[in-house]
Amino acid sequence: MSGPKSRVAWLAACLAGICKLAYPADAEVPSLRVGTMLLHPCATPGAWCGSFTRALDPAGTIPDQLPIYFEFYPHSGSGPSQGTLVATEGGPGFPATETRGEYLALYAPLRASRDVLIMDNRGTGQSGAIDCPGLQTAPMLTEELVAVCGRLLGARAPLYSTALASDDLASLIERLGAAPVDLYGDSYGTFFAQVFALRHPSLLRTLVLDGAYPLGDSSYAWYPAYAPGMRDKFNFACARSAACSALPGDSISHIEPALRQLRLHPVQGAARDVTGRLHHFRADATALAIVMFGSAPARATVREVDAAARAYVGGDHQPLFRLMAETLLGVDSRDATQSPQNFSAGLAAAVMCQDAPQIYDMQLPPAQRVADRDRAIAQRKVTAPESYAPFTIDEYRRMPIDYSFLDECVQWPTSPPAHPAGSIAPANAPYPNAPTLVVSGDLDNMTPVADGAAAARNFPHGRQVLLQNSLHVNALPHARADCGAVLVRRFIETLDPGDTTCTQAIPELRLAPRFARTVRELPAAEAQAGNGARVLQLRAVTAAVLAVGDALVRAPEIGSGDGVGLRGGSFSVGESADGYHLTLRQTRWTDDMSVSGTADVPRRDGAAHAQLQLKGAGDLNGTLTVDWHEGSSRAQASVRGTLGGRAVTALLDAP
């Protein structure tokens, strides 16, 4: 094809989401002029792609140029735009444009009158992603691998800082004529957004920090809110669970006996993660710390650590070993391809070592810095030995260095005087008057409530909203409720989040009451009118419902894919915008009974239904239907069916 026909065909393919970035060579490329920029259609429907060149080093010491890639989504309504919504990604290391789907979903109700802008920060995605091969492919990050990456980057290492990336965004906004903008950042994106606010306050209309932590001073280098946030996560979840709160003490006290056992008698562990991949690891105090601090998988760890720790002390190691295996998979930000365009481990290291406060002096040569680190650690053990309780400082430090933070940059090359480490904003720059909303989840230990509050206090018009029973980042579609998104959109429209009662209406995370190897060890479901089932059969009902819950809590991590049961069997997940369709295939939550069947569960709120077939010894064979309302506090499941020829009518906690 040629001429107009090829243009029409290509644009039609784009609207279907199947075109490539390149336009047919024999046709005129359509374009859109925004400000001084000329944009072209790209593969994502409705998106216009652009790229512009920035000096890698604004001081000119290094003459290299860097392409900065971005996507622009014009407002869909008629008339002039009422503003531009800008979203920036976390990590650091992830490209923002790969999260376009979640950002566009957040902004969807506002897009009739507002444009959307998403830019890949320098060193990520299509903006010259850093590739440090060792960090991209090594089984585990080490101080030496980080140092090798720094030496590989050489004089370029400090030039991927948040400060320069924020200047790139400022230049783009000015080129597009888009100021003032409404800027949203999640996780590390909140750090970026705060740096942008300090460096370019005149370009801001509003600021939203979702899962926020402050820029911090030298005291923040120890991450003082990290362990308290972790303890609160488990204690709050337990206190809101009928089964867990009925036990003496708080959740940390339930977990500590297992910690003591792992500390005194570490063992070689082996377990399969949710995908079925077998992991071998040392099961010790640090392995438990990784589970509890790493929050991966986020919902499963909250649901299961308390019960898994109790099971471990009772001799059942499998539930805790599975969490350890799943966490080893979950804390690795690299995708299966280990592509730096999808996640740049080198950029993550460069930003952490250039921007974040450290417990040692980054201006020292690495050899002297190691000695400074050791001195600081020794002093901390004397003055604040409980910094990461219930774990010791040494147990904490043995976590992956990009989760424990303290040692990651100790051997990173010293930055030159022209670009000193920690120079993220002009000295004594005031925080701007832009209305600022901080969104925090009260179960988030990655960016705890205290950190969000500290970030909000820095802004003259800062306000924190606290979402109960919520984890890390709460305005995007993967959040437990739409409350955060509603508040953010209202804030952007009116400069005020308005009624925040929804923050208290998010249901608690349902915890596993206990793990059991046999059906006989479980509590019986509560018999209802018409029930003819015996007590052991009602215990089997509990096992079947828990098997559904075990698969359901892992569905967000699997997406559309396959998983394995705790003690055997498998399940698959079909994911849609509305929820999840689970198919269980002889899944074993206990050793002596398998569960097959299907479950359809809405993502957040609505009726859920499961149809199950049970196979076990004696009269534990039969079929059950399970119905409950997802999104309700203390939700109960109604169960009907037959087991061993006996009618079952029962009630128990929802899966």
Q: Could you tell me the pLDDT band of residue 295, with boundaries at 50, 70 and 90?
A: confident
At residue 330's C-alpha, the angle toward residues 329 and 335, to 5°, is: 75
Please determine, for residue 11, whether its predicted confidence score (pLDDT) is greater than 70.
no
At residue 306's C-alpha, the angle toward residues 302 and 307, to 5°, is: 110
Helix ranges, 483-558 (H): 483-494, 535-552, 555-558
Q: How far is Cα 399 from Cα 130, in angstroms, rounded to an integer?
A: 25
Please determine, for residue 445, whether its predicted confidence score (pLDDT) is greater than 60.
yes
Domain boundaries, the chain: 519-653
Please determine, for residue 209, whether its predicted confidence score (pLDDT) is greater than 70.
yes
Q: How far apart, in Å, are the Cα atoms of 403 and each of 72, 319, 396?
A: 34, 23, 9
Residue 628 structure tokens? 């409950």
Average pLDDT over residues 7-18: 40
Q: Per DSSP, what are the bridge partners of residue 651? A: 526, 638
* pLDDT reported for residue 2: 32
Average pLDDT over residues 125-134: 96
Average pLDDT, the chain: 94
Burial of 489 (0-12, 13-18, 19+ CB in 10 A): buried
* Cβ contacts of 364 within 8 Å, gap of 6 or more: 372, 414
Residue 399 structure tokens? 């976590």
Average pLDDT over residues 581-607: 97
Q: Calculate what percentage of the chain has a pLDDT beyond 70.
A: 96
Please determine, for residue 578, whether its predicted confidence score (pLDDT) is greater than 80.
yes
Q: Could you tell me the pLDDT band of residue 140, with boundaries at 50, 70 and 90?
A: confident
Q: Could you tell me the pLDDT band of residue 500, with boundaries at 50, 70 and 90?
A: very high
* Cβ contacts of 320 within 8 Å, gap of 6 or more: 258, 283, 288, 291, 305, 308, 309, 311, 312
* pLDDT reported for residue 1: 31
* Nearest CA-CA partner of 209 in 187, 179, 181: 187
Q: How far is Cα 401 from Cα 141, in angstroms, rounded to an integer?
A: 7
Count of Cβ atoms closer than 10 Å to residue 168 Cβ: 20
Average pLDDT over residues 441-449: 97
Average pLDDT over residues 443-461: 97
Handedness of CA 99, 207, 450, 249 (dihedral sign): negative
* Nearest CA-CA partner of 132 in 413, 369, 420, 397: 413
pTM metric for this prediction:
0.93
E-assigned strands of 506-617? 526-527, 561-564, 570-575, 579-590, 593-602, 606-616
Q: Could you tell me the pLDDT band of residue 20, with boundaries at 50, 70 and 90?
A: very low
Please determine, for residue 620, whether its predicted confidence score (pLDDT) is greater than 90.
yes
Lowest mean pLDDT among 133-142, 493-502, 537-546: 133-142
* pLDDT reported for residue 32: 95
* pLDDT reported for residue 21: 41
Residue 363 structure tokens? 């201006």
Q: Could you tell me the pLDDT band of residue 179, with boundaries at 50, 70 and 90?
A: very high
Please determine, for residue 3, whether its predicted confidence score (pLDDT) is greater than 50.
no
* Nearest CA-CA partner of 478 in 470, 467, 487, 469: 470
Strand 462-467 to strand 436-441: parallel, antiparallel, or no bridges (unpaired)? parallel
Please determine, for residue 144, whether its predicted confidence score (pLDDT) is greater than 80.
yes
pLDDT tens readout for residues 415-435? 999 899 998 988 889 999 999
Spacing of C-alpha 340 from chain mean position: 19
Strands laid side by side in the 606-616 sheet: 526-527, 646-653, 636-643, 622-630, 606-616, 593-602, 579-590, 570-575, 561-564
Pseudo-torsion of CA 210, 214, 220, 224, nearest 10°?
-40
Residue 189 structure tokens? 């994106």
pLDDT tens readout for residues 100-114? 999 999 999 999 999
Average pLDDT over residues 122-146: 95
Please determine, for residue 219, whether its predicted confidence score (pLDDT) is greater than 90.
no
Residue, of 577 and 530, whose pLDDT is higher: 530
Residue, of 468 and 333, whose pLDDT is higher: 468
Q: How far apart, in Å, are the Cα atoms of 327 and each of 9, 93, 299?
A: 46, 20, 12
Q: What is the DSSP string of 258-277?
A: HHHHHHHS-EEEEEE-TTS-
Residue, of 44 and 411, whose pLDDT is higher: 411
Residue 541 structure tokens? 């009902």
Residue 141 Rama label (left phi>0; alpha psi -120 to 50; beta): beta
pLDDT tens readout for residues 299-353? 999 999 999 999 999 999 999 999 999 998 888 877 778 899 999 999 999 999 9
Q: How far is Cα 483 from Cα 478, in angstroms, rounded to an integer?
A: 12
* pLDDT reported for residue 426: 86
pLDDT tens readout for residues 63-93? 999 999 999 999 999 999 999 999 999 999 9
* pLDDT reported for residue 29: 65
Q: How far is Cα 500 from Cα 517, in angstroms, rounded to an integer?
A: 44
* pLDDT reported for residue 6: 42
Q: Could you tell me the pLDDT band of residue 27, with boundaries at 50, 70 and 90?
A: low
* pLDDT reported for residue 28: 65
pLDDT tens readout for residues 370-403? 999 999 999 999 999 999 999 999 999 999 999 9
